[in-house]
Structure 1
Amino acid sequence: MNAERKDTSRGQLELKLGGQISALISASHALNVRTAAAFDSSIQPAAFHIVRWLYSYGPTSASVLAESTAMDRSSVSRLIKQLENLGYVRREDSPNDRRAILLTLTELGRQKTFDALQDKEFIFYERIAQWDNQQLETFIQMLQEFNGFNDN
């Protein structure tokens, strides 16, 4: 974008929006790091990212997990090994292909994830507690449009 555009009121608004998006990303990252520590302070936040993915989407292969989390396969393998040793993740045979192995959360992994996410969600819910339903619906719709998820 050229310098003249930033002198307009629209340009100034776009800069303010960029600042708010940056603040949201930074706050979200910090909250994710704290949530990972609440889950288990001995693991890296990247390991909790794997746990969080498994919690949301269920059992999967290591290759799908690596692709879905944008991590290289060796990092996923190392983190999965750590999570297995701690009792949070286990390997199981795929019901569709007995040669394939799926990674899944153990009951301990599910419960600790639920507990950690409860604390995280409370912080976000606290910020929107005073909003009425229309404000919340508008915010959700605008975020969906911004993120490219129009489901009208």
Structure 2
Amino acid sequence: MLHTREMTSEGARPAERDETTTEARLDALERQFGVMFEAFRQRQREQALMIDPALQPTGLRTVAALVYGGPTGAGPLADLLGYDKSVLSRQLHQLEELGLVTREQDPSDRRAVIISATPEAVARILAIRGHDRDAFRARLSTWPRADLDDLTRLLTALYSR
């Protein structure tokens, strides 16, 4: 995009238009979100490897959803994660082989299955996420309170509309 410049009221120096500086700021912000999201994806890959070399990041998401949300049926789990049921079924098979989930018949509906994280999966997820949480808090603990408040307020405003 070409930068549009106009003369100042004194006519001495060109001044960037607000749209151009806003556009540049938005571009910079988009780049920073991209960096942040890529760092998050990389961290998920690392966490999956810490649990098991065969575990993919999507499997990590599935196990974490069960650890934090508790046992559930396949339908609600697929909906929560945005997975197709056939994809989830294959993934659950792998997670069972790795000893991270169990599938048991729902006592209230013999046709349905309840999926649960194993105690080993719970321990591993909580340990990894606890370490990451501590590292995240340590990085932010040096920030001034006003900056933390501003970041929280701005991120809340970003998606509250």
TM-score range for the pair, normalised by the shorter chain length: 0.7 to 0.9
TM, length-normalised to structure 2 = 0.79
User: Residue 68 in 1 paired to residue 80 in 2?
Assistant: yes
Gap change, CA 1:64 and 1:121, over 3 Å in 2: same
Which structure is larger by alpha-carbon Rg, 1 or 2? Answer: 2
CA deviation map 1:78-120 (0-9, x unaligned): 1111111222111234465454221111111100111121232
CA deviation map 1:120-139 (0-9, x unaligned): 22332232120244432321
Matching of residues 1-152 of structure 1 within 5 Å: 8-94=20-106, 96-148=108-160
Gap change, CA 1:47 and 1:7, over 3 Å in 2: same
TM, length-normalised to structure 1 = 0.83
Pairs aligned (count) = 149
Is the CA contact 2:3–2:20 (under 8 Å) kept in the aligned structure 1?
no
CA distance in 2, matches of 1:2, 1:74: 49
Q: Percent identity?
A: 28
- Unaligned runs of 5+ residues in structure 2 are 5-16
How well do the aligned residues superpose, as a CA RMSD in angstroms? 2.6
Q: Work out which structure has the larger RCO, using CA pairs closer than 8 Å and 6 or more positions apart in sequence.
A: 1
Is the CA contact 2:51–2:124 (under 8 Å) kept in the aligned structure 1?
yes
The runs of at least 4 aligned residues of structure 1 exceeding 4 Å deviation read 1-7
- Unaligned runs of 5+ residues in structure 1 are none
